Chains A and B, each alone.
Chain A
Amino acid sequence: MTRFTRGVPRPINSGAVLAKAVLRQFKKRPHSSAHMPTRSVESTTTLDPVEVAAFHRVVEAPVTDSVHPGYLHKLGFPLAMQLMTDPSFPLPLLGLVHIVNRFRLHRPVLIGETVTTSVRIGQARKHRKGTEFDVLVTGVVDGETVFEETATYLAVGKHLSSAESEREEERSEFEAPGVPSAIWKLPRSTGPTYAKVSGDYNPIHLNPLAAKAFGFPASIAHGMYTASRALSASQAPAGGYVWEAQFAKPVILPARVGFGVFDDHEGATRRYAVWSVKNGKPHVLGSVAPLA
């Protein structure tokens, strides 16, 4: 694996990255037998209390000294964008769907700590709807790995001959519990508000017309917003934990969604669900489990 390290960390201009992605739609992509780029990119960030607090407020977490994993996810996001807009990346960035996010927090990460985040892309896998791949993120503070994240994306209808065979999926039917433990009213501004604190300015979250261009009836909430808010409401354990989110139907804004958290009877795992109050269909399903 070639290792790419930028000498001086600089903020990534997500507008420029996005513009690049749009332009790339018109360029010729590498042949479908191409492989995923194997290099890794990294950046170093000192966790700013003001920015962290702004994020916590948006995802309705108490403003504490330990940083919400949703914010740590944000550290890897521009690096992932950088890899996915690279000319060698064999799949189109626009239209990628974030389907699963697994975040392993080894210990609480505190404001003021300097985190070196490195991101690489895993092997492409065949999926019944196209091709999926993992964005693998690692956060290190003073030589200690503090978190690892696997964000799984799906390129619908795209096929790579180099892709590994399909992974066995567990698919369970979701049945909305009759009674939510909370109802969230999500206004249209949910998209732009989360964009500001997460740096994810994908137009499908900002503009109903842009969302329509991608086949949504109106702008949709960021999956990581819904999952982060669910984590905030799920009473995560005090130490390290694994936070998982599976993204089902997008939340079309504005929306009223039900939230529920359920103790797993076989241990300390808490399962949570966010679903549509209107039709009972799931938006995000996930769990929070303390590290063994």
Chain B
Amino acid sequence: MTQRRAAVLGGNRIPFARSNKQYAHASNQDMLTSALDGLVARYGMAGERLGEIAGGAVLKHSKDINLTREAVLGSALDPHTPAFDIGQACATGLETVVSISHKVMHGQIESGIACGVDSASDAPIVVTEELRSILLDLSRAKSNGQRIKALTRLRPQHLAPQAPSTGEARTGMSMGEHQAISTAAWGISREDQDALAVESHRNLAAAWDRGFFDDLVTSYQGVSIDTNLRPDSTMEKLAELKPVFGRNLPEPATMTAGNSTPLTDGASAVLIGSDEYAAARGLEPLAYFRDAEAAAVDFVHGGEGLLMAPTYAVPRLLARNGLTFADFDFFEIHEAFASTVLCHLAAWESEEFCRERLGLDGALGSIDRTKLNPNGSSLAAGHPFAATGGRIIATAAKHLKETGGTRALISICAAGGQGLTAILEA
């Protein structure tokens, strides 16, 4: 087996749109196919057979067992291109990048696409547990008597549809309620959260203004820019918003709709290949995938914050690669909530947390805020769960190329108390 490098060659996404707006009637498969086709068109890959496509969605319909393969079949790619679905909640998109990169690095494939999609609008609606149980018993019934017996259990309230929730299965609490606990525990102020949100909007707006996304985004359904972006967002405007999470806690609630990501629809795709593939196609690599590390926390019984897993993953990733924060030109930390990012930064600066929880000799270090999310992140762009990884990787790779930097750190927190982090380098 050969150990090669996996190059990020390019990316494409559709503009992200707030849920139940422009993409309300587009399915996951529709959006993913569009993102793939945009990438295929940009790099002239129509009819080409690629090594493999990895994709996924967090809110997934049960009929979408082969979502990515179906999108490939609907795209301009050669139908002989294989595909597979994976899932790791909000880390799904980054996990597809890790998966395709590893296949390239091991010489298993020459090229591949890592992609992800999510629709909070065209969400699966499921029937109640009672109705599901009745219908399943009905299908298992062998006699009319058994069928009638199953049907007599049916009650009107069983017919109410159930929409999926962003609640954690084991705790019944929403992600925002969980984050509010960490926000209070780390004493993150409303002002700091709002400032981070303003910065995210300002950076994303600036990137759009200078044409940074011209070769990273293809318009869709009449949308040509991320619809959640508020370039004129200010501290004053954000200060007017009422807190929505953590209102039951003893500490004052600080998390608002302005410093939390909204439900979003969108899709993204990243082209990854070997140096040989890049040379043969005349493509100049934007960056190389170096390594990744996943972590998880015990948020159910262990009293740890649901979204704090990246704080564990990053020091392990740095140690394995012999790196410190000083070796990175910039940091892409997914903004699930402004306070999530601020909690991570505070944890890495905390001597106590780093010693007791992370098993380090002292604080991991501080991150220069001017190096954080230089082109904005999820607070401004929105967060279509499985599409965020592809957005961040394509954005970071291009930024690394443009600025002539050497290394970028990527960190994404996910439901289930998980986190996935990665290193891109020139």
Contact = CB atoms under 8 A, between A and B. Distances in A.
Given A178-B249, A179-B249, A184 B157 contact: no
Nearest to B153: A196
Contact of A182 (B157, B172, B250): B172
Interface in B163-187: 170-173, 177, 181
Given A178-B249, A178-B250, A277-B248, A183 B301 contact: no
Contacts of A182: 170-173, 300
B306 to A, nearest CB: 11
A180 B303 CA distance: 10
Contacts of B171: 181-183
A181 B300 contact: yes
A183 B250 contact: no
B170 A235 contact: no
Interface string A36-65: 000000000000000000000100000000
Nearest to A196: B153
Contact of B172 (A184, A189, A263): A184
Nearest to A182: B171
B172 A261 contact: no
Interface residues of A, number: 15
A33 to B, nearest CB: 49
Contacts of B303: 181
Interface string A46-87: 000000000001000000000000000000000000000000
Nearest to B248: A277
Interface of A: 57, 178-185, 189, 233, 235, 261, 263, 277
Contacts of B249: 178-179
8 contacts: A178-B250, A180-B173, A181-B303, A182-B300, A183-B172, A183-B177, A185-B172, A277-B248
Which secondary structure dominates where chain B touches chain A?
Answer: loop
A274 B171 CA distance: 13
Nearest to B178: A179
B414 to A, nearest CB: 19
Contacts of A181: 171, 300-301, 303
A203 to B, nearest CB: 18
A197 to B, nearest CB: 12
B301 A261 contact: yes
A189 B248 CA distance: 26
A235 to B, nearest CB: 7
Contacts of A183: 171-173, 177
Nearest to A261: B301
A183 to B, nearest CB: 4
6 nearest interchain CB pairs? A182-B171, A183-B172, A182-B172, A183-B173, A179-B181, A178-B250
A180 B177 CA distance: 11
A176 to B, nearest CB: 11
B109 to A, nearest CB: 38
A182 B168 CA distance: 9
Most buried by B among A178, A184, A235, A277: A178
Given A233-B170, A235-B301, 12 more contacts: A57-B129, A179-B181, A179-B249, A180-B173, A181-B300, A182-B170, A182-B172, A183-B171, A183-B173, A183-B177, A184-B172, A277-B248
A112 to B, nearest CB: 21
A179 B184 CA distance: 11
B111 to A, nearest CB: 42
A179 B300 CA distance: 12
A234 to B, nearest CB: 9
Nearest to B250: A178
